[in-house]
Structure 1
């Protein structure tokens, strides 16, 4: 059995109605693989239709921009040059005409203009730029290019280099959208204005942590990415990320990130970090209602290492080893209940005992070194120690375990899954901006802000799929 299919485009501008045949197919039905359009046939149909549709729209747009805005006279054409407009359904070849500017308007200006550059400044359709950005944020540039070529009629017009350039261009635009430089929510504001603020919607928690990836310039070294996740009591969580040292204004980024999430100056804010100096300084002076909390998970991790040394000591000097284990339990208990003074006393006493200990335990020196480091760690983070037990019983967060998962989701699965992957600081920083927005579902909103015409009924579905 044969089925003939003819696809026509009917154009009607209100004055002239034209009909053009786009494709003529004959389908022979012999098996399941013959039913409907094949991928190759659908690509050919979409590409042919897209070429005609875009040409008709561009010609109509040019017709309305052919006359001088001041005098109303028709502009003389100097010629045209070819351009390629990259769309989801094929690369459309167009002619961009150049028109002479009337002499009375050439003062300190160009002699010719190309109106089509106003309509197509980037030579790529926003929907295609969005898909390239979204997919390349989830998988490698090469894999994203292959995926686009597999399902869309774009053929050889896409490759890893092109996709990378487009994604980084989108990320740079996101960087340009950042608010002005500010180091706190109160900078440049009058506290009396707080009276006009609505009642905050509960505490917001933001966790920050770091991960390392290989440096492209010096392949024997790594550099640090700072990533985090902000979780409000009401609403959806959002990701944030940047390259430590490359971003010169990280506090501005955090403020802009929180503001977009609905945070306001009089709202309670809790930073939970591993206590590292880099991430700890980011939490300073962000908001008058903010606090920094040392992550309980990282405290217990360090105590667990110390316990392993103490258990090894038991096998050589039982009494001293058991005494060290008991003292570590007391330290942990004091820290859990927020008794910082007693905890530091116990830490100092245990360190003195270890320094005076005469034992053949082979790891005694490492035990002492780890104990000194723990002493410094607790001392430097003393203002960030809280009553963890009380906070835990009240149902509030005391651990940045959710940030550990964030590091894995944002960094490990895209930047460092393959050991041979290497990154420039700029490339990693810019990709972080698109990846974090892709993972939390806010990428579509950024594109709709730039291109309002992209708003449609399935915009919500895009966000849910990305989340």
Structure 2
């Protein structure tokens, strides 16, 4: 069987540019593998069609932009040079003409222009950059390049280095889109204007936690990533991530992140963290919150460690060990009910009792050190502690477990925490921007904002006709 595939291009004015054969196939039907187009045939067909279609579009565009914007005269051609336009369906070779400008426009500028650089300044099709960014956010750069080469006719122009460059370029554009530095959501807003705001879509919760990956510059050290997840009662969850210390203005990133999710200045917002300095800093710099609280799980874990030491103390000094266990139960009860004053008193009393204790318990020194660290932790987060029991009974979150799952989803599966992959701070920070948007489904929206034509997908006219 002979199959000939013809391509016909019709101009905007209805003129037919002729019919051209772009593929001639010989099909032999002996098995299921012979039916339809093979992968190689489809690649060749797509590449041939893409070359002709792009050439026709570029020629039409150049014809419409060959006249001087000032004088209206047709520009004289000086020559052309070859450029490569990398698309999803092959690398298209194009001729980019250079035109002489009128002499009156050459006084303070170049003598020639290349209009095609305005149409394709990056030499990469937006959808190809989107797909590379999306796939490389989920799998290593080399794997993303291999996947593109497997299913699309892009073998000659794709490799791990190229994909990485495109991904980082997209991430840098996201960085440039961040809003200007703001101290809080309230900056520049008048509370009297809140009455004009629509009713917020319920409460919003954002949790922050940290993870570590191997530093490429100093391979014996790690550096810290801060990732988080924000959830509203209405709407989808969104991810956020940045490299601690590399991002100098984390409060701006958090504010911009929440605003893109639809957060309003009069909306109830709660931060949940592990209470560490790394994730407490961005929250404090960003003071629109009505409630901010360390995760109860982290408090309970520290009390559990203290209980284990106290149980060991019981075997050496029953009275002292029992007293420590009773003190820890009282502290946990006070913290659960938000009685911070009584909890602080109980912790201080327990610290003094342990300092004065004379016992042969071998881990007494570790017990004293641990209780002092717990005392410092509670003191540092005193302003953020809440009534966990009341919050739990009202059905609100008191745990950052959902954030710890986010750390594994964002960091472990792509940054290969277990394999100790090595990263530069810049590369990790920029990849975080694309990975978080890929995971929560907002990456496409960012590209459509930059390239509105991506929202078309060639069926807008059909939908309008149907309407």
Q: What's the TM-score once normalised by structure 2's chain length?
A: 0.95
1:307 alignment counterpart? 307
| 1:69 maps onto 2:65 in alignment | no
2:295 alignment counterpart? 295
1:464 alignment counterpart? none
Structure 1 residues 242 and 158, CA gap change in structure 2 (3 angstroms): same
2:183/2:285 contact within 8 Å kept: yes
In structure 1, how many angstroms separate the alpha carbons of the residues matched to 2:113 and 2:190? 48
1:17-76 CA deviation, whole Å, 9 max, x = no partner? 311111100011111111111111111111111111111111111111112122222211
Name the SS for the 1:78 alignment partner: strand
1:144 alignment counterpart? 144
2:254 alignment counterpart? 254
| 1:7 maps onto 2:5 in alignment | yes
1:68/1:75 contact within 8 Å kept: yes
1:314/1:322 contact within 8 Å kept: yes
1:20 alignment counterpart? 20
1:88/1:125 contact within 8 Å kept: yes
2:447 alignment counterpart? 447
1:436 alignment counterpart? 436
In the TM superposition, residue 419 of structure 1 has moved relative to its aligned partner by 2.7
In the TM superposition, residue 290 of structure 1 has moved relative to its aligned partner by 2.8
Structure 1 residues 289 and 418, CA gap change in structure 2 (3 angstroms): closer
1:7/1:21 contact within 8 Å kept: yes
In structure 1, how many angstroms separate the alpha carbons of the residues matched to 2:37 and 2:370? 67
Name the SS for the 2:51 alignment partner: helix
In structure 1, how many angstroms separate the alpha carbons of the residues matched to 2:183 and 2:289? 14
In structure 2, how many angstroms separate the alpha carbons of the residues matched to 1:457 and 1:103? 42
Structure 1 residues 458 and 85, CA gap change in structure 2 (3 angstroms): closer
In structure 1, how many angstroms separate the alpha carbons of the residues matched to 2:5 and 2:114? 33
Higher alpha-carbon deviation: 450-459 or 270-279 = 450-459
Higher alpha-carbon deviation: 333-342 or 316-325 = 316-325
Higher alpha-carbon deviation: 20-29 or 280-289 = 280-289
Correspondence 1:6-405 to 2 at 5 A: 6-13=4-11, 14-284=14-284, 286-405=286-405
In structure 1, how many angstroms separate the alpha carbons of the residues matched to 2:363 and 2:429? 41
Structure 1 residues 348 and 458, CA gap change in structure 2 (3 angstroms): farther
Q: What's the TM-score once normalised by structure 1's chain length?
A: 0.95
How many residues of Structure 1 are paired with residues of Structure 2 in the alignment?
457
In the TM superposition, residue 189 of structure 1 has moved relative to its aligned partner by 2.5
The alignment's C-alpha RMSD in Å is 1.6
1:328-382 CA deviation, whole Å, 9 max, x = no partner? 1111111111111221122122222222222222221111111100011011111
1:385-417 CA deviation, whole Å, 9 max, x = no partner? 111011100001111111111111111111133
Structure 1 residues not aligned, in runs of 5+: 460-467
1:309-330 CA deviation, whole Å, 9 max, x = no partner? 1122223333322322222111
1:226-269 CA deviation, whole Å, 9 max, x = no partner? 11111111111111111111111111111111111111111111
1:110-162 CA deviation, whole Å, 9 max, x = no partner? 11100100110110111100000000001111111111111111013101100
1:265/1:289 contact within 8 Å kept: no
In structure 2, how many angstroms separate the alpha carbons of the residues matched to 1:209 and 1:264? 24
Structure 1 residues 329 and 226, CA gap change in structure 2 (3 angstroms): same
In structure 1, how many angstroms separate the alpha carbons of the residues matched to 2:128 and 2:343? 58
Name the SS for the 2:201 alignment partner: coil
In the TM superposition, residue 11 of structure 1 has moved relative to its aligned partner by 1.9
In the TM superposition, residue 193 of structure 1 has moved relative to its aligned partner by 2.2
1:398-456 CA deviation, whole Å, 9 max, x = no partner? 11111111111111111133434111111111111100100000000000001111114
Higher alpha-carbon deviation: 312-321 or 373-382 = 312-321
Structure 2 residues not aligned, in runs of 5+: 460-467
1:202-232 CA deviation, whole Å, 9 max, x = no partner? 2211111111111111111111111111111
Higher alpha-carbon deviation: 319-328 or 429-438 = 319-328
Higher alpha-carbon deviation: 154-163 or 352-361 = 352-361
Structure 1 residues 142 and 371, CA gap change in structure 2 (3 angstroms): same
Name the SS for the 2:208 alignment partner: strand
Name the SS for the 2:414 alignment partner: coil
2:212/2:417 contact within 8 Å kept: no
